[in-house]
Structure 1
């Protein structure tokens, strides 16, 4: 489904995006994600297609607000039945129960919202949104009210149910985890929509520095393109030459930022050192810091450049890394992603 909308308030936004399967509109707070969803639902004035000119109650849209907005005085079943008032009572009840079953929670039918967990409330709210039998489903920050364990366990199941239904779904979120689950990601910034594509494409190949930060890159090395040949680009960062995959826009002498994910900075095993091509992005330095993070360890490498590392615990167990120890790291060219250079203050 193609969406083209223009909003004037509360933010000025002109956007054209494609919703395919489960699509996440990813961006920081204040860029207009929630406003776009409200405009599509008919809750904010806007111009565009689809649904322009239709009142909110006429739009074939299921809308799940950020905090679910369940009626506290109605049971789960009654909440889901609310948009089905046009049906006879018996049919209305049966239909509402059907949507609770689709969400895997028919046993919660007699409970009130106060008796439900956050994940259960979300499923009831989704069942209510689906009861409208929408052409488009809108989810506003669907993981914001869920803790990490609930998010990954519960919402993964919800997402599976939504895919089975085949309803185009647009979720507004600032959560990179949710965007990684998407079929398609659209990145919204204060300047407008700056990138859209498959989740893999956006996470592996962000178009600029801000998008790279948004999708989880933590290492940004400012440099200049020194040479181009075939699929390769050679850049110089702080006096060190690095090889990267050549982007189509790169030109010799151009300022660039080399972006590297923390978990794609590879600590070189001394026993495997001879097997690696010396010319390909091997950096020597010391380990400045190392601390546990979940089941992994986050560290800081200092050499010709400084790098943030995220290591699985088996690497630490095998290498016995310690703070202050000399080590080598490798930046594989395929994981060294180049974006156009920016003003120094934006790369701080």
Structure 2
């Protein structure tokens, strides 16, 4: 049975949220919102999810945003000064601060350090600043990377926290280092305390700003893409580049050899939700009246087949799905029933 657009959009709204945004917003176990709500918000949100699916299945470059993992990073002005020297290459690389001022000389850097030291202890038991790196794939225009980071830092921290950042082009991947003070500018505001969901939001904001500048960029959770290996730490990447001349064209991963039984267990515990979401999205798109949706369903099947952990057979997708859209009606039998609305 062919499904109308409103039915397809309601399913996309539910399963797309589970697939792409679980770390950011918590969704209640309600698959379909009240009709009055969906009339207003559904078209834009469903278009956003379709765009996200398209970027993911065609494997658009993924942005990287990470906080330096050094346990002593940012713990007092001594550590902060050292990192400022590092990202500025001892004043050889231009810094830019939260007010848009550029710091190009040793004198400028010295003034910044003195200014920050007024309310920051030399040594602290807690972090007084966080060091964040925004990175994009090899070949991305460096000016656009810096502009995207500048815009996002303004959106996220402007008027709330002091920060400085610098663009580095000494590796294959253009990247920006930012030092952000944890103490707020206004005393009534809270100290910065980023969590996993915040990092995902930062990734999404960075990727969105790159797209506004015409750069293809994506920011999906690793498990959504079927990736379970952890990326190398920053110092490991730099060591590879120094010692072996290794390219950062693709982010290296820690080797992780698992027995078959362990791999299946990992799949069942870590990827069941993502697999189920992909399966349901492919099924409902295959039943859509729109040809573009049916084509997207075939793209999803191909994408799932090529994921690092191949779990196409674990999903609730019929083998007939691979022949969509001709046999799309057979897919609906694998879909859970749509919950009733009050």
Q: Structure 1 length as normaliser, TM-score?
A: 0.27
Which is richer in helix?
Answer: 2
- Greater RCO (Cα-Cα under 8 Å, separation 6 or more): 2
Which of the pair has more CA radius of gyration? 1
Q: Structure 2 length as normaliser, TM-score?
A: 0.28
Which is richer in strand?
Answer: 1
